[in-house]
Structure 1
Amino acid sequence: MTQVLAFDVYGTLIDTLGVLTELEQRLDALGKMALAPEFSRRWRDKQLEYSFRRGLMGGYVPFSQCTEEALVFTDRALQVGLSETDRAHLMQAYARLPAFADVAGALRRLSEAGVTCVAFSNGTGQAVEGLLEQAGIRDHFETVISADEVKRFKPDPAVYAHLRYRLESEPGDTWLVSSNPFDVIGARHAGLHAAWVRRSAEAPFDPWGIDPDLTVGDLATLAERLG
């Protein structure tokens, strides 16, 4: 099979900090706009923590529920006082997050080079399809593969096995591309190749002795290396 690149979505293709503008507006009305950056960071961290905890419990729920529960927790932890309307608007904003600036060009270059690209996410297929469509990058992907199809979350090995099942691919032909170290380690543990998109020069990688096959600072560099 031709080499295929499976792109993580949240944090890799789509900028989760894109919710910051809506968050600032909501918090400004409450006189707490200065908390917006911390709120955004903790919301994202808690979202991932909840998916990991759900996975360990065997209590799967859609990723959007983890996102909403993390929003409620962060609101309580920072004592912001968001209303139900505020939370609804923030969840809507999360469904309209923008792509990083380097994404469209890199995907276009890979497509022109004949590389097969798929989107591979913990989000539900419907949520990811909508997110990629509104960001203007859906056409660059052959398909969307969701962890929801097996009711598990990355980095569960079953999710990466499902990816290969859907692609009918061998591990050596399959690359995960992700900015999330837990995802890279999960893919490598499952026998796949993995590229880490280190979007921040200060971002550390987990010292587990399981390293990415390739580390790049952005997707343009990835397209140069793998295109």
Structure 2
Amino acid sequence: MASSNKHVVFDVPSTPPSSPASAPRLRAHAIGPRIFGYAWMEAGEKEYTYLSMSGRYVPYSAVSRALFYRTLWQAGVADPRAFATDDDRDFLLAAYRQLRTRPGVDRCFRTLRDAGYTVWALTSGDVARVSGYLRDGGVELPPENFVSCDSIGVGKPAPAVYEHVLKKFPAEGLDAWFAAGHMWDASAARQTGFKGAWISSWEKDMCSEIFGDMDVVADSLPEMADRIVAFEEQLAGEE
């Protein structure tokens, strides 16, 4: 029988928000919707993390809402509040809440569960939104398998966040993986005792010269699951 102390914790993947309605207006200012969404999300993650480090935890959703006009200004819009409205911002934030899961998430979770792993989600977002992503993608996780930084009051990549999750698992015979689309996330988890798995579909470049190596690297979620299972089978064969 497969060990019950095998776990894979996912940072639930997402992509930055953009919309067909906003794209022409952004392009009129020579701003690509994709790079704007990336800048908005990355700025949000930075400020969210800095607030957490300073002891003033603010939910990520509130941080990203506040940074909308600042990001427009940094993108080259001279008068952001004349260019866009709160309704525009709220439309994009609502679109962000309706993102779909990455292709293959159902097969990924099924492969891991068939190999004896329990699947978890660790997120900087709220549990209702994140569980909605998965449910809309045809995947269910028990509520007790979701962990939100909002409930801890500390943001990733603080070691305490990953340690909080590790403490949920018995120490004896533990096989724990952290899977993410951000190298900073997977590498931080790896420093606290997780094995690390990185999917390349968002960042593309590992930047391993600053983040180090990963135990598993994959281009898709199904491939990631297959490689995690193969990694452990190889270790078992060497013992």
- TM-score interval w.r.t. the shorter chain? 0.7 to 0.9
Q: 2:164 aligns with which of 158, 162, 165?
A: 162
Out of 32, 37, 42, the residue aligned to residue 40 of structure 1 is 37
Q: Does 1:6 align with 2:3?
A: no
Q: Tell me the amino acid that sits aligned with residue 11 of structure 2.
A: D
CA distances 1:138-162 after superposition (whole Å, capped 9, x unpaired): 3488621111221111110110111
Look up the match of 2:22. Answer: 26
Moved more, 62-71 or 132-141: 132-141
Deviation (angstroms), 1:26 = 2.3
- Percent identity (aligned): 25
Task: Give the partner amino acid of 1:92.
Answer: A
Displacement, 1:31? Answer: 6.6
Structure 2 SS opposite 1:25: coil
Q: Structure 2 CA distance, aligned partners of 1:155 and 1:167?
A: 20
Determine the structure 2 residue equivalent to 1:64: 61
| SS of match in other structure, 2:167 | helix
Runs of 5+ unmatched residues, structure 2: 230-239
- 3-state SS of paired residue (1:155): coil
Contact conserved, 1:150 with 1:159, CA < 8 A, in 2? yes
Q: Which has the larger radius of gyration?
A: 2
Contact 1:25 1:33 in 2 (8 A): no
The verdict on how the C-alpha distance between 1:109 and 1:57 changes in structure 2, with shifts beyond 3 A counting, is same
2:232 aligned partner: none
Aligned equivalent of 1:150, options 149, 152, 157: 152
C-alpha displacement at 1:134, in angstroms? Answer: 3.0
Q: More deviation in 72-81 or 199-208?
A: 199-208
Question: 2:64 aligns to what SS in structure 1?
Answer: helix
Deviation at 1:224, TM superposition (A): 1.3
How has the CA–CA distance of structure 1 residues 163 and 171 changed in structure 2, closer, same or farther, with 3 Å as cutoff? Answer: farther
Q: Distance in 2 between matches of 1:128 and 1:138?
A: 11
Question: How far does residue 209 in structure 1 lie from its aligned partner after superposition?
Answer: 6.3
Count of aligned residue pairs for this structure pair: 220
In structure 2, relative to structure 1, the CA distance for the partners of 1:191 and 1:113 (3 Å cut) is closer
How far 1:86 moved relative to its partner? 0.6
Question: How far is 1:71 from its partner?
Answer: 2.3
**Root-mean-square deviation (CA), in Å?**
2.6
Q: 1:119 — aligned with what?
A: 121
- Tell me: CA distance 1:114–1:191, structure 2 relative to 1, closer, same or farther (3 Å): closer
Please identify, of 154-163 and 168-177, the stretch whose mean Cα deviation from structure 2 is larger: 168-177
Alignment-mate amino acid for residue 43 of structure 1: W
Q: Which runs of 5+ in 1 are unaligned?
A: none
Using the alignment, how far apart are the partners of 2:204 and 2:186 within structure 1?
A: 17
> If the length of structure 2 is used for normalisation, what is the TM-score?
0.81
Please tell me whether the aligned partners of residues 200 and 217 of structure 1 are also in contact (alpha carbons under 8 angstroms). Answer: no
The corresponding residue for 1:51 is 48
CA distance 1:7–1:84, change in 2 (3 Å): same
